[in-house]
Amino acid sequence: MQTAIIIIGFILVGLALLFFVARARMKNIPLVADHEKILMLTDKNFNHQTKNKIVLVDFWAGWCAPCRMMAPVLNELAGELTGNFYVGKVDIEKYQVLAQQYNIRSIPTMVLFKNGKEMNRFVGIKNKEFLMKQINNIR
């Protein structure tokens, strides 16, 4: 019985250490500069920038590690999109009204707009191929 308690204790300590190491690594994910084609959306320009085009809007925050992980994917996607297709970003810390307006409950959340209307939404980390397929389905 005592041996089982010791083993369970070691397992719990190991899991706790693993959790803290993983959390520290996630916090150290660097901020990536945005691609020049990414639309920086605000509460003032949002409607104008999403009108008459297809825009994948990333709702994100600087403190969000999964959001930081999505940045390179969104940069690649923005660089490959042509025509009337764009990637936009909304910092939910700065533009909380937009996050509330679009009912953003967790981040990263990406919302696909066509002519200013929400067509689809995706929560969590997604790869470029998945996002490109979703954009192509809207065409």
Active-site annotation, residues: 64, 67
- Which residue in this structure is represented by tokens 């919302």? 111
Specify burial of residue 1 (Cβ count, 10 A radius: 0-12, 13-18, 19+). exposed
Quick one: CA dihedral 115, 116, 117, 118, positive or negative? positive
Q: How far apart are CA 95 and CA 44, in angstroms?
A: 10
